[in-house]
Amino acid sequence: QKEVEQDPGPLSVPEGAIVSLNCTYSNSAFQYFMWYRQYSRKGPELLMYTYSSGNKEDGRFTAQVDKSSKYISLFIRDSQPSDSATYLCAVHGSSNTGKLIFGQGTTLQVKP
Amino acid sequence: DTAVSQTPKYLVTQMGNDKSIKCEQNLGHDTMYWYKQDSKKFLKIMFSYNNKELIINETVPNRFSPKSPDKAHLNLHINSLELGDSAVYFCASSSSVGEQFFGPGTRLTVL
């Protein structure tokens, strides 16, 4: 079993739709949860960063962590064609080694 | 004013050759990383250096050797390249847990 599981998609939605992206993880020691966005042929860029359980909102993006079920989500409201990218969830434990464990990434296409 | 830069951007080479990829960051971060992203977009850490000291060394063949001449640079040397080494290699840096900044990637193709 992989430490972080993520459905690779692809996911195709019409412009303006609400998008829900999800990951599950296996180790309850993980405390830091991130979402990275990666455009085609570019490096990943940090989108959202949360610590422990709860919600975090930034504009059209909301990250949600449920540690009891080891489930993390990213919601995109009013999706735009410019949101078309691969979204990678990542988790991190409590050590300070900086080791991120990534999910496989979900490819999202938002059609105009 | 690029934050994390890598050279070269593309690298095409024959099996058995030795090649290097260079990375530089101008963010003042203490920690730098090398990741490998395979054809299925799976991103996996290979190495991490903190202030020029190796702190993460995942299960990577000995043919891969990182070197950090100073905390702003982290290079990756690969000996005896194999077909399976074809991938995109990303350098990243950070100053705190989780917030890693990635470079643009080096697309390596081994023929």
**Pairing state between β B19-25 and B31-37:** unpaired
- In the predicted model, is pLDDT for residue A92 greater than 90? no
Contact with chain A for residue B48, Cβ under 8 A: yes
In chain A, residues with a C-beta closer than 8 Å to the C-beta of B102 are: 36, 43-45
- In tens, the pLDDT along B55-67 reads 888 878 999 999 9
Confidence of residue A51 (pLDDT cuts 50, 70, 90): confident
Residue A42 dihedral angles phi and psi, to the nearest 5°: -125, 170
In angstroms, the CA B93 to CA A84 distance is 25
Confidence of residue B26 (pLDDT cuts 50, 70, 90): very high
Straight-line distance from the first to the last Cα atom of chain A, in angstroms, rounded to the nearest whole number: 37
Q: What is the least distance, in Å, from the CA of B77 to any CA of chain A?
A: 20
Q: Which amino acid is at B40?
A: K
Nearest CB among B43, B48, B50 relative to A102 is that of B43
- In tens, the pLDDT along B72-95 reads 999 999 999 999 999 999 999 998
As a whole-number percent, the residues of chain A with pLDDT over 90 amount to 76
Give the mean pLDDT of chain A: 92
Mapping DSSP to helix (H, G, I), strand (E, B) and coil, where does residue A108 land? strand
In chain B, residues with a C-beta closer than 8 Å to the C-beta of A105 are: 41-43
- In the predicted model, is pLDDT for residue A76 greater than 70? yes
Confidence of residue A97 (pLDDT cuts 50, 70, 90): low
Element (H, E) at B58: none
Q: What pLDDT is stored for residue A106 in this prediction? A: 95
Question: Which residue, B39, B42, B16, B23, is CA-closest to B101?
Answer: B23
Contact with chain A for residue B59, Cβ under 8 A: no
**Pairing state between β B106-110 and B10-13:** parallel
- In the predicted model, is pLDDT for residue B20 greater than 70? yes
Contact A98 B101 (CB under 8 A): no
